[in-house]
Structure 1
């Protein structure tokens, strides 16, 4: 197609097609291929053999004078001959010579110059069929047809804006495009390996996250909550120096025995100096010294280190009552010599409701804070404040409790330090409305409450009383520390219908909601000292339950401070306690003391069946298996039909031969002293 610059013999001109055409040819409507590719809507491309119906007959009209409506377009198109019809030849050269030269605007004078829009040859019309795509001409020169800007557009009649045939020869060098000079192979490699590295990293993160996810979602708890506490009277546990009395090194030598039982905390009874220890262990004179019979501070530090290495905590008994009594007696003697002054306090150590004038030189309550700080610095993890119930009427009782708890918090260092008190404190404060504020202080500052349960009485009523009491009224209150035997009671085996049922009773205690406690020797059925006819031991009848622990290597080369007492079970019986402790630590149904539901504590323990010898107790927790313990505390074989209560389950622990079996409660038989734990079907 001939360039617009060659039309009418005028070179390098930009014209506005506003002349009157006498015989518009098809090529007037067929703009060059560059324009058609750039403005497809302005430059339609009809077939090459298109024969315009007005090419020979139509009088001259202004180009693009009339805008066609859709209806008129349809009418005109109906008169267009088809491609199959024979169109008469058109002399485009003659037609080109008839066209007047187009007007050209001069910038300075505004005059219009005319230029011919010559059509070179018929080959230009056929070249439209070979038009290339616009995307293929990205780097080639373009010819643009722009609408004129100086012609007024009128809606009805008049001259419509024409087309400006502007030849823009913009030839861009490939080097002018910066992205062509980029190192695309390197970019592709970097993108590929970057995406691969990112994918591998994401996969590794996901795999690591999945592998570190806990397989179970159990409720959290502190070390003292639901874990086994083992109470030891040091002088009767293990003797290492053959003096007939146990010592601290003897406890250190048996820490692996404690670990094998699943013990999480060791509670030591009084280790402080007293007159005629251990017979009169309760006459404590000093709370910051160790009884020489038991060992030295080096032995104590070694014991603490050994226990902590096995993840076992140490709890000390602080006999406040006997200590205050000793201080009172010393003050009275000093006052008689004229060396002390009168101090009036509320003395409830010996008399809980009587105010007395006593003669005390030290600040006893401040002294207790110093005692706590002293032992905490030696690695102790908790304290049992004994005889605290005798101080509840003290006017500064709440202040002292807060002060003592503050001392423990200063030594916390990421590990909870605990305070324990007797249930007698709770009962005294709970039954007195005036002391209600003191009760709140105790419930928010103590961690465990020593709760004694008597297996020879109605167990169900005792458990229900505790679960319905103030300790279970709100979350965050202290947990019960269940004790079946202790240094303040006779031996467990002596209080049961069958002496060898002490192990079954301990397993029942370990299934109670709270923290279980085992007194040394109860796991082997250690008995009381029954030979009271000997004059030598009548004056220490208060210690007849503190006989020496039995060991396999216990060759009695020397006489113990108490005669040897009988053990009704072998030492291997402790393995049942170990298995129960493992089951307890892995089962929220057992170690959780209640269910926290909508801000309230709901009991998760229920006695399903009980009679004189047989007890059936169930523990449960949401979305967990329920566990049932069945124990025969009597001296005869018992058979029961409990199918109305439970259907069946798998026996996970049994002191008999039922372990690993599937058990139905239709006909349940237990031997004397036998106990089993059953995991119920969901």
Structure 2
């Protein structure tokens, strides 16, 4: 009887628990919510899980020797600035020896520093000072290809022993007239065929990017081990991890039984036959073997930490890929993968337009697909995209920075986003990006990445304080006299000061570090995010992404549990509301582009 009674009570408890879950789900069906258990809330996070990553494009950050090109000593001289804005880890775009066809993403020697950037001693000085300031340094690892000036390629070209199959070579095929043609119709990222003929070897080589960027052969164990050796070498120099470039194209489909590569199908998305998107790229991107390689690199990171101790060495993966593929980068139940596969949803999804509904779609796509116990991350720009303020609209600069720094997980800032820097205006004559140079002056602006790579703006003075040279490697962007560190630091209110306030709140708030979340697009243009943690202040982010003033009742439209009064902690630049004032969540008026951070005090 006792056992039966226990069974009945147990069944009743299960029923009541299920009923409560159903009722709760019904009450918040239009909002996306995650509530952590207290044990999970109290869990101590590793440094990278709430980190503020900051991307430095070395060529454009700070020039120390007056040649118009940024360098390592320049970065070292500005580390205090990074400390001031709360950076946890600085990721440096490639600094290795390179002919600079793709500005460092074409590496001639993976073990050497590019001479115009400095020396190994300069790098060690940078590491030492960064360590002293508590800033971690992460390097850009470019595993898919090397420069055609790399010693490995020259040896492979000559078929030297051990290097014969270091790259992807093929004889090609003969057309109906007996003329030799490329092995397949594959296209490179910078327009035109992905195959290049070399007379010396009487074969074609694969290059998914520029002709000078030769694809390495990851089906060769010697290449796999060589790249792991590179990782260990730079870990020995004191770096805290790597951002890994262009991972989805690491492997391509194998040849068929006749030794031939298949052609790709036409995508139907463009009529431009030289554009890579003219073809479906399923055979040359997002292959299953690539996932396993990421897992192998993670093992290198973990093995290194196990042997040498210290903080976790992180692996950040660049992957513009469908969610089902990207999420595999995290690992699975038995194998660890990347700590953070980069989340570009706020870039890619918002290309269809900036609104609360597209923001929710972008956040949903990551949070609803991310495996359990993994860490999210948020990115709004990088060196391959037009600047955030130019893409989203200048009036939404603070709203987007607020969003990235209040969503759960790690944040990534590209240099200048904290200032609201806008795109540079680069003429065809000044264009240097190969993605644009491989086109023509009529269409180059559709492909160029130069506008987001202009020199960083430190002051209103000569060359924006970036360089003393008579000419910088790229022209300065407009409005550098007002959008610069000096002016924004000395202003009563500025994008930079708002950014710093966000970072300070993020670092001090257990709610933002460990709290649960709930978010909702209340209308086409109105987005709200709630971060909450038992025993700590609740944080509300609310933004009007539209062009008209709106009024919102957060209690009735979003969350009935919100208090009757909240405190305004941070507001966007053009907001007329007084910081520290009381805000009634039942009636908030938001001007076009206005965004607020509110806090409710625990009792």
TM range (shorter): 0.5 to 0.7
Structure 1 pair 423/362, CA: closer, same or farther in 2 (3 Å)? closer
The answer for the alignment partner of 1:379 in structure 2 is: 238
The answer for the alignment partner of 2:492 in structure 1 is: none
Q: Distance in 2 between matches of 1:590 and 1:633?
A: 22
Q: Distance in 2 between matches of 1:344 and 1:569?
A: 45
The answer for the alignment partner of 1:147 in structure 2 is: none
Structure 1 pair 314/224, CA: closer, same or farther in 2 (3 Å)? same
TM value normalised by structure 1: 0.58
- Alpha-carbon distance, 1:237 to partner: 0.8
The answer to whether the aligner puts 1:316 opposite 2:159 as a matched pair is no
- Structure 1 residues 493-532: aligned runs within 5 Å: 493-496=389-392, 498-532=393-427
The answer to whether the aligner puts 1:654 opposite 2:584 as a matched pair is no
The answer for the alignment partner of 1:112 in structure 2 is: none
- Structure 1 residues 198-347: aligned runs within 5 Å: 219-276=43-100, 280-323=103-146, 329-330=153-154, 332-335=156-159, 341-342=164-165
The answer to whether the aligner puts 1:622 opposite 2:534 as a matched pair is yes
The answer for the alignment partner of 2:229 in structure 1 is: 370
The answer to whether the aligner puts 1:664 opposite 2:584 as a matched pair is yes
Higher relative contact order (CA 8 A, sep 6+): 2
Structure 1 pair 346/397, CA: closer, same or farther in 2 (3 Å)? farther
- Alpha-carbon distance, 1:231 to partner: 0.7
- Alpha-carbon distance, 1:642 to partner: 3.5
Q: Secondary structure at the match of 1:263?
A: coil
Contact kept, 8 Å, 1:342 with 1:359, in 2: the verdict is no
Q: Distance in 2 between matches of 1:238 and 1:344?
A: 36
Q: Secondary structure at the match of 2:103?
A: coil
CA deviation profile, 1:315-356 (whole Å, cap 9, x unmatched)? 111011233887685455223x8995457989998679xxx9
Contact kept, 8 Å, 2:457 with 2:483, in 1: the verdict is no
Which blocks of at least 5 consecutive residues in structure 1 are unaligned? 1-216, 595-603
- Alpha-carbon distance, 1:384 to partner: 1.3
The answer to whether the aligner puts 1:445 opposite 2:337 as a matched pair is yes
The answer for the alignment partner of 2:175 in structure 1 is: none
CA deviation profile, 1:244-299 (whole Å, cap 9, x unmatched)? 1111111111111111111111111111122136x633212222111111111111
- Alpha-carbon distance, 1:225 to partner: 1.4
The answer for the alignment partner of 2:7 in structure 1 is: none
Q: Secondary structure at the match of 1:374?
A: helix
CA deviation profile, 1:92-146 (whole Å, cap 9, x unmatched)? xxxxxxxxxxxxxxxxxxxxxxxxxxxxxxxxxxxxxxxxxxxxxxxxxxxxxxx
- Alpha-carbon distance, 1:409 to partner: 2.1
The answer to whether the aligner puts 1:547 opposite 2:454 as a matched pair is yes
- Structure 1 residues 553-572: aligned runs within 5 Å: 554-556=461-463, 557=468, 558-567=470-479, 569=483, 571=485, 572=488
- Alpha-carbon distance, 1:669 to partner: 2.8
Q: Distance in 2 between matches of 1:504 and 1:291?
A: 38
Which blocks of at least 5 consecutive residues in structure 2 are unaligned? 1-40, 171-185, 187-205, 210-214, 252-286, 438-443, 489-494
Structure 1 pair 587/443, CA: closer, same or farther in 2 (3 Å)? farther
Q: Distance in 2 between matches of 1:219 and 1:512?
A: 18
The answer for the alignment partner of 2:212 in structure 1 is: none
TM value normalised by structure 2: 0.65
The answer to whether the aligner puts 1:401 opposite 2:297 as a matched pair is yes
Contact kept, 8 Å, 2:430 with 2:474, in 1: the verdict is no
Q: Distance in 1 between matches of 2:295 and 2:584?
A: 56
Contact kept, 8 Å, 1:331 with 1:359, in 2: the verdict is no
Structure 1 pair 360/617, CA: closer, same or farther in 2 (3 Å)? closer
Contact kept, 8 Å, 1:501 with 1:634, in 2: the verdict is no
How large is the RMSD of aligned CA atoms in angstroms? 3.6
The answer to whether the aligner puts 1:461 opposite 2:378 as a matched pair is no
The more displaced of 393-402 and 560-569 is: 393-402
Q: Secondary structure at the match of 2:389?
A: helix
Paired positions, count: 442
The answer for the alignment partner of 2:598 in structure 1 is: 678
The answer for the alignment partner of 1:587 in structure 2 is: 509
The answer to whether the aligner puts 1:576 opposite 2:501 as a matched pair is no
- Alpha-carbon distance, 1:589 to partner: 1.9
Contact kept, 8 Å, 1:331 with 1:361, in 2: the verdict is no
Q: Distance in 1 between matches of 2:484 and 2:222?
A: 49
Contact kept, 8 Å, 1:273 with 1:286, in 2: the verdict is yes
Structure 1 pair 672/236, CA: closer, same or farther in 2 (3 Å)? farther
The answer for the alignment partner of 1:103 in structure 2 is: none
Q: Distance in 2 between matches of 1:524 and 1:437?
A: 32
- Alpha-carbon distance, 1:658 to partner: 2.5
Structure 1 pair 681/235, CA: closer, same or farther in 2 (3 Å)? same
Structure 1 pair 536/589, CA: closer, same or farther in 2 (3 Å)? closer
Q: Secondary structure at the match of 2:342?
A: strand
Structure 1 pair 610/324, CA: closer, same or farther in 2 (3 Å)? farther
